[in-house]
Amino acid sequence: MMLLGRGLDARDNQTRQIQDAVSNVEKHFGELCQIFAGYVRKTARLRDKADLLVNEIYAYAATETPNLKVGLKNFADEFSRLQDYRQAEVDRLEAKVVEPLKCYGTIVKLKRDDLKATLTAKHREAKQLSQLEKTRQRNPSDLHIIYQAENELHRATLETTRTTRHLEETIDNFEKKKIKDIKNIFSEFITIEMLFHGKALEIYTAAYQNIQNIDENEDLEVFRSSLYPPDYQSRLDIVRANSKSPLQRTGSSKSSLRTVQISHRMLRKDEEEEDEEDEDEVEEDEEDESGATKEVR
Amino acid sequence: MMLLGRGLDARDNQTRQIQDAVSNVEKHFGELCQIFAGYVRKTARLRDKADLLVNEIYAYAATETPNLKVGLKNFADEFSRLQDYRQAEVDRLEAKVVEPLKCYGTIVKLKRDDLKATLTAKHREAKQLSQLEKTRQRNPSDLHIIYQAENELHRATLETTRTTRHLEETIDNFEKKKIKDIKNIFSEFITIEMLFHGKALEIYTAAYQNIQNIDENEDLEVFRSSLYPPDYQSRLDIVRANSKSPLQRTGSSKSSLRTVQISHRMLRKDEEEEDEEDEDEVEEDEEDESGATKEVR
């Protein structure tokens, strides 16, 4: 650290700059990779919830009156189709955004190897230079040893030259590829997202009609007639015919039917037990309900 | 449970049907509420990840060459704007889909109260009927007691009629409201989702241009000139002029400059230590890298 203060010159700045550039890519591509992977994961979790929603809508639709049943089923079909596109979105983002960023783990490792080779060569060269100067000082007349040391230095210099040239080429390609990849990765991200959003608009347009087409009144009639079935009514007619004071059938036919039903009930006795059973059920259900309400809140 | 086999007649079917209808809504609206709430939560988690992405893109852009810097920053601006719309989506879904479903917790509870009141009244009426018959058998001549029992039964019957009528009206409104609410809730869901998807398409269209406009070559030149600054080059020229055998400047000018730089280095000695420092840094960074790579995978 203290060495930084000594005024490194340009070539050391250069090495440091290359190191910094590689470290910066390592750091930020690593971060981007992780966050994009998280984004993809959350998209997959959203699809999971949507799949649950599809299943629940099917389950609910199956219990409903005809129009609601068909409308909800059709909506669930469309919504399920949208989840297939969301799955495609997830797969594409994984392949075209996360994977290319992940590759930079290996790419950066190779650049670090190149950097290390250059630094090792420089280190060896400096050692040989120091060796040569020592030799010259200690054995100024031994030309053979000096020649050998010069030879060693020459070889070390060639190795430094080779590794440095390789590093420079590689770092230029690295930078070129990096800018190109960033442009590609973000373009792919946007394209993949747009494809999904476009499909979503298309599918929801169809799904909206399915919901709008649900005929509320028709379903309400079905519900009413299921509560007051014809055979029940015909039996009521018999009761009514036998009744001394036939109950007036005014405004709400249901209400007056219900009154007849009660008079009818008074003729039977053994149903007391059934009512008790009903009450038990009500209590049980109420417990269930309070549980469900808690979960909902 | 055994009572089911005994052939309940229509009026019990009706009560049971109302109970089933209420239980069914309780079950499925509860499920829908929970899953929609989950869907909204996952959408909020996706927004969180997108917010992280925005911050990381800003952080990375700040370290980059001018074109990449501006392009990425503009993209992050747009992407951040989209997250505001996603937040609006989350708030709207919460208010227009989850809340109305949640209200059914209370609505169902009220219906269960109505059901319970009806069942209690029926139960009491049946008891009074049984009481009256016992009284008639035991005290067939005590007209006063019989009259009292008949009176009690009459009051119980009126109460049954009242609660049953109320239940019937309430259950009709409940069913009407339910169909209407389901249509509304799903229509709101679709509309809110479409609003977001539409905005997404609009915003991504602008964001795409920001990425496409990044000038790769200009940035590459900036990178190159930062690695080989002019003052460094001018000093190299001096070295080159003093050199006995000037190195040929072929294809890659950078590589040959680098060679000169190495010759130059041979004139200095104290830089050995600096290289050692560099090597240490490389090793440290490599450890960091392997850590980062693990996280990515």
Please answer yes or no on whether A265 and B122 come within 8 Å at the CB atom: yes
Alpha carbon of B125 to those of A265, A292, B128, B152, B194: distances in Å?
9, 33, 5, 9, 55
Please answer yes or no on whether B266 and A211 come within 8 Å at the CB atom: no
ipTM of this complex: 0.73
**B129-171 confidence digits (pLDDT tens):** 999 999 999 988 888 989 999 999 999 999 988 988 889 899 9
Mean pLDDT of chain B: 79
Tokens of B80: 């951040």
Q: What angle do CA B5, B9, B13 make, to 5 degrees?
A: 85
Q: Which residue of B has its CA nearest to A121?
A: B275
Alpha carbon of B187 to those of A85, A217, B175, B232: distances in Å?
21, 18, 18, 68
Mean pLDDT of B195-214: 97
Say if residue A252's pLDDT is above 60: no
Distance between A164 CA and the closest CA of chain B, angstroms: 7
Mean pLDDT of B269-273: 37
Say if residue A267's pLDDT is above 70: no
| A174 C-beta neighbours (distance < 10 Å), count | 21
Burial zone of A127 (CB within 10 Å; 0-12 exposed, 13-18 middle, 19+ buried): middle
Please answer yes or no on whether A182 and B255 come within 8 Å at the CB atom: no
Query: A48-52, A285-289, B189-193 — which is least confidently predicted?
Result: A285-289
Interface A-B, measured as beta-carbon pairs within 8 A, has a size of 381
Please answer yes or no on whether B3 and A269 come within 8 Å at the CB atom: no
Say if residue B276's pLDDT is above 70: no
Q: Which residues of B touch A161 (CB under 8 A)?
A: 258-259, 262
Query: A77-91, A236-250, A279-293, B178-192 — which is least confidently predicted?
Result: A279-293
The end-to-end CA distance of chain B, in Å, is 57
**A111-163 confidence digits (pLDDT tens):** 999 999 999 998 999 999 999 999 999 988 888 999 999 999 999 999 988 98
Question: pLDDT tier at A241 (50, 70, 90 boundaries)?
Answer: low
pLDDT for res B243: 45
pLDDT for res A254: 39
Say if residue B257's pLDDT is above 50: no
The end-to-end CA distance of chain A, in Å, is 58
**B39-86 confidence digits (pLDDT tens):** 999 999 999 999 999 999 999 999 999 999 999 999 999 999 999 999
Distance between A182 CA and the closest CA of chain B, angstroms: 9
Which comes out higher in pLDDT, residue A4 or A68? A68
Q: Which residues of A touch B3 (CB under 8 A)?
A: 273-274, 277
Q: Is the dihedral of CA A76, A80, A85, A89 positive or negative?
A: positive
User: What whole-number distance in Å separates Cα of residue A226 and Cα of residue A228?
Assistant: 6
Distance between A18 CA and the closest CA of chain B, angstroms: 8
Q: Which residues contact A214 (CB under 8 A, 6 or more apart)?
A: A67, A68, A70, A71, A72, B179, B182, B183
A77, A82, A271: best mutation site toward chain B, by most B Cβ within 10 Å? A271
Distance between B98 CA and the closest CA of chain A, angstroms: 9
Nearest residue to B93 via CA among B204, B202, B187: B187
pTM of this structure:
0.74
Say if residue A38's pLDDT is above 50: yes
| B244 C-beta neighbours (distance < 10 Å), count | 4
**B232-249 confidence digits (pLDDT tens):** 555 445 544 554 433 333
